[in-house]
Chain A
Amino acid sequence: MSALGNTPGMVPNPMHSLTPSGNLRRRQLTSRLFVTLTVAAAGLAVAVLLILVYYAAKNGASQLSLSFLTAQLPAPGGIVPGGGMGPALVGTAEVILIATIIALPVGVLTAIYLSEFAGRRIGRVLTTALEQMAGVPTILVGVFIFGLVVAHFGQSAIAAGLALAIVEVPLIARASIESLRRVPGTLREAADALGVARWRTILGVILPTAANGIVTATILAVARAAGETAPVLLTCLPVGQGYQLDPRQPVATVPVEILQLLLSGQTSTVDKAWGAAFLLMGLILLVNIGARVWLRRSERKRGV
């Protein structure tokens, strides 16, 4: 301060420079240095994202073609050239469909219970349980389903679906709780004042109002499940290279297929792995961006 010569009641000394000097200068430099470092950290994260996307595109984009999307899986070891991701795409869709059919009702019901019914104590226990469930490493979810299902009935799309359902439930439940809580209390009060029964309020007023958030959460959970490798690896390894629709049989999935292609280590199969990786990454990022944009737009429209 004194560097400015600006003590109250005194005319500023024109001989003093107005640019900071000495201690203040040092402090401002330190500050600027740290601000620059945070900018650099954010820039680094964005750069890593761009490098990942660019590198996957560079190696994988040339693989994409209609036949890559529909052809049977490449032969193991890359002995026969050709092959695509058809069965793996269908299998991934099948597995996440099973998972979501289970996880959506469980997640939403849990969220309804927590936001509409639960007392403080139970609410706290259940919230803790949800957070623990979200924190269980996905590979251990695979180990769990292996012991519970695969050890008795063998590998199947259903087993993988169950494992991915466990991954999805906490994601859907947590985001649903948030959007249920964001429903304005006035709506609830209005329904109560009209003498509407609780269940009608919940199903007819609160859920529809929160629906956008719940749908977004489900879509993001599906995107997450589609990219999960660890739980599927232990519960659903495909046999053969063809299409498999029977959910009681193991099906091919894109992430596991990427891993399998890498393991065989031939240039041709590694190229296929890049193609599959680019495809999967592109789909997941597009779904993520789309869901976010859609949620933001619908929220702005409703003025929430």
Chain B
Amino acid sequence: MSSLAAPELNRLAPADPGQRSRLDKVDRRANGALKWLALGGGALVFLVLLAIVYQILSGASGAFDKFGFAFIVHKDWVPASAQFGAWTFIYGTLVTGVGSVLLSTILGVSIGLFLSLMAPRRVAAIIGPLVEMLAAIPSVIIGLIGIYLICPFIKTDIEPWVHSAFGWIPIFGAPEPVGNSIFAAILVLTIMVVPIIAALTRDLFLTVPGELRDGAEALGATRWEMIRGVVIPTTQSGIVAASILGFGRAVGEAIAVAQVVGGVPADPIDLFKGGYTGASLIANTFISPVSNLNTSALFYIAAILLVIGITSNLTAQRISRSFGRAR
């Protein structure tokens, strides 16, 4: 730092006025150059984003011309006979996304509360990074453990128990012999989304002014009443935003879901049956399409996922921004 600042000092009063103006010119040019270079980096980000949208939409145009919006609600997906409908994949995507976000919000917000308001600072300094570590584990490894640990566990333990206890509820339907199912995908996604929601809500809860919390406790509120009456109401829009971000992440996860979801193009009410999601379909079949129309249909599904992803992102952003302004 000082090595640069010191010569600068000398340049403040150069002996020769001509030298002074020459330096000024160099500096002015360099200022401009750096500014434009930096702007170039930003512009590139913007261009790539536009290119992603353009590329996916143009790839989807063939299938869109052929099927129109009926593609979304059409059920059959038989590439060999050129029948393409996305409904079963959209259904799987939405059910796994919503299911995992419900579970992750409950768990993630609880962890966020624990880390920000309950745990002694030392404990939080250990547990917090451990929870973040969970987000660093590659999805292919979570999927691998999903296949060999979670699916068998669902098959031998969770499923029979849930079936005998709640079998009369349609979503828990008839006993299934395989563990690979929509429910397995929900569990795997939950492992991936919980750390995101936990980290976001922890930071959120730390922004609740201490006076409000102390005030509630001074008035005799218990810890839980303080949380329910002060912390949750002041942060609820942020919690919603975190959940929506988690949903966007769950919708886009391809590999881990592809490994456990079953890979059956179906829209079962029963969560313990196999299903499919848009992202995992792309991961499984994009490399080996049977026709150009097949590729285009996959691009169409990619476009639907992109729309869901961007919408949920923008919504989350908008909510958290208006939340920031309100405070």
Whether the Cβ atoms of B38 and A117 lie closer than 8 Å is yes
In the complex formed, the residue of B with least CB distance to A230 is B254
- A110 contact from B27, B38, B56, B111, Cβ within 8 A: B38
Whether B111 pairs with A139 at a CB distance below 8 angstroms is no
| B residues near A105, Cβ cutoff 8 Å | 41
Closest to A122 in B: B42
A198 to B114, CA, bound (A): 45
Q: B114 to A199, Cβ gap below 8 A?
A: no
**Judging by beta carbons under 8 Å apart, are B127 and A198 in contact?**
no
Q: Which residues of A contact B243 (CB under 8 A)?
A: none
Is the Cβ of B134 less than 8 Å from the Cβ of A49? yes
Query: Is B248 a contact partner of A30 (Cβ separation < 8 A)?
Result: no
CB distance from A89 to the nearest CB of B (A): 14
Whether B287 and A41, one on each chain, are in contact in the complex, defined by CB atoms closer than 8 angstroms, is no
Instruction: Pick from B65-73, B162-170, B216-224, B267-275 the stretch touching chain A.
Output: B216-224
Partner of B5, one of A107, A205, A234: A205
Q: Does B235 contact A (CB under 8 A)?
A: no
Q: Is the CB of B136 within 8 A of A284?
A: yes
Residue from the list A141, A147, A173, A274 in contact with B45, Cβ < 8 A? A173
Q: How far is the CA of A148 from the CA of B36 in the complex (A)?
A: 26
B195 at the interface (CB under 8 A from A): yes
C-beta contact mask, B134-156 vs A, less than 8 Å → 1, else 0? 10111111101101110000000
Judged by a CB distance under 8 angstroms, whether B94 is at the interface is no
In Å, the complex CA distance between A274 and B58 comes to 39
What total of chain A residues lie within 8 Å of the partner, measured CB to CB? 100
Interface centre among A51, A135, A142 (most CB of B within 10 A): A135
Return B300 CB to nearest CB of chain A, in Å: 11
Q: Could you tell me if A194 and B12 are in contact, using CB atoms closer than 8 angstroms? A: yes
The residue that B305 contacts in the complex, of A110, A140, A147, A209, with Cβ under 8 A, is: A140
- Which of B46-54, B74-82, B83-91, B171-179 has 4 or more CB atoms under 8 Å from chain A? B46-54
What separation, in Å, do the CA atoms of A133 and B49 have in the docked complex? 6
Kindly supply a per-residue 1/0 record for chain A positions 228-255, scoring 1 wherever the CB is within 8 Å of any chain B CB and 0 otherwise: 1110011001000000000000000001
Contact B222 A31 (CB under 8 A): yes
Q: Which of A9-17, A72-80, A123-131 contacts B (4 or more CB under 8 A)?
A: A123-131
Whether A147 contacts B55 in the complex (CB less than 8 A), given A46-B127, A194-B8, comes out as yes
Which residue of the partner chain, among A33, A45, A136, contacts B194 with CB atoms under 8 Å? A45
Q: Which residues in A have their C-beta under 8 angstroms from that of B115?
A: 42
Give Cα A138–Cα B42 distance, bound, in whole angstroms. Answer: 20
- Residue pair B138, A227 in contact (C-beta under 8 Å): yes
Q: Once the chains bind, are A126 and B42 in contact (CB under 8 Å)?
A: yes
- Please, which residue of chain B has its CB at the minimum distance from the CB of A113? B38
Residues of B within 8 Å of A208, CB to CB, are: 1
B residues 156-206 near A (Cβ < 8 Å) are 191, 194-195, 198
Q: B37: CB under 8 A from chain A?
A: yes
Q: Do residues B286 and A234 form an inter-chain contact, with CB atoms below 8 A?
A: yes
Q: Chain B nearest CB: distance from A21 CB in Å?
A: 15
- Whether A202 sits at the interface, judged by CB under 8 Å, is yes
- Which residue from B27, B38, B40, B305 sits with its C-beta under 8 Å from A200? B27
A37 proximal to B (CB < 8 A): yes
Q: Is the CB–CB distance between B149 and A45 below 8 Å?
A: no
Contact count A vs B, C-beta below 8 Å: 287
Q: For the complex, is B282 an interface residue (Cβ under 8 Å from A)? A: yes
Please tell me if B129 contacts chain A, counting CB pairs below 8 Å: yes
> Which A residues are in CB contact (< 8 Å) with B224?
30-31, 33-35
What is the CB-to-nearest-CB distance from A157 to chain B, in angstroms, rounded to a whole number?
Answer: 17
> Does A258 contact B141, Cβ atoms closer than 8 Å?
yes
> In the docked arrangement, what's the CA distance between A65 and B3, Å?
49
Question: Which of B138, B245, B305, B317 gathers the greatest number of chain A CB atoms within 10 Å?
Answer: B138
**B130 interface contact, C-beta 8 A:** yes
Residue interface mask A125-169, B partner, CB < 8 A = 1: 110111111011111111110111000000000000000001001
> How far is B314's CA from A128's CA once the two chains are assembled, in angstroms?
8
A237, B305: Cα distance in complex, Å: 24
- Chain B residue at smallest Cβ distance from A130: B45
A39 touches B222 (CB 8 A): no
A101 within 8 A of B: no
B237 interfacial contact with A, CB 8 Å: no
Residues of B within 8 A of A228 (CB): 138
Q: Is B283 among interface residues, defined by CB-CB distance under 8 A?
A: yes
Interface residues of B in 276-291 (CB under 8 A from A): 279, 282-283, 286-287
Complex: A238 Cα to B174 Cα, angstroms: 42
CB atoms of B137 and A131 under 8 A apart: no
A196 surroundings in chain B (CB, below 8 A): 4-5, 8
Smallest CB-CB separation from A203: which chain B residue?
A: B34
Once bound together, how far apart are the Cα atoms of A168 and B28, in whole Å? Answer: 32
Give the distance in Å from the alpha carbon of A268 to the alpha carbon of B316 in the complex: 45
Checking B136, B191, B223, B252 against A138 with a beta-carbon cut-off of 8 angstroms, the contacting residue is B252
Complex: A180 Cα to B13 Cα, angstroms = 31
25 residue pairs from A and B, CB less than 8 Å apart: A35-B223, A41-B114, A42-B127, A45-B130, A45-B134, A46-B127, A59-B148, A105-B41, A109-B40, A117-B35, A118-B42, A129-B49, A130-B45, A136-B306, A141-B52, A143-B55, A146-B286, A203-B34, A205-B4, A227-B139, A230-B255, A230-B279, A262-B147, A288-B132, A288-B133
* Seed contacts A42-B131, A227-B136; 11 additional CB < 8 Å A-B pairs: A45-B194, A49-B131, A110-B42, A135-B312, A139-B254, A204-B1, A233-B255, A237-B287, A262-B144, A274-B144, A281-B137
A-to-B contact residues, CB < 8 Å: 1, 27-28, 30-31, 33-35, 37-42, 44-46, 48-49, 51-52, 55-56, 59, 105-110, 112-114, 116-118, 122, 125-126, 128-133, 135-144, 146-148, 166, 169-170, 173, 191, 194-200, 202-205, 208-209, 223-224, 226-230, 233-234, 237, 255, 258-259, 262, 273-274, 277, 280-281, 284-285, 288-289, 292
The 3 residue pairs across chains A and B that have the minimum distance between CB atoms? A137-B252, A109-B41, A227-B138
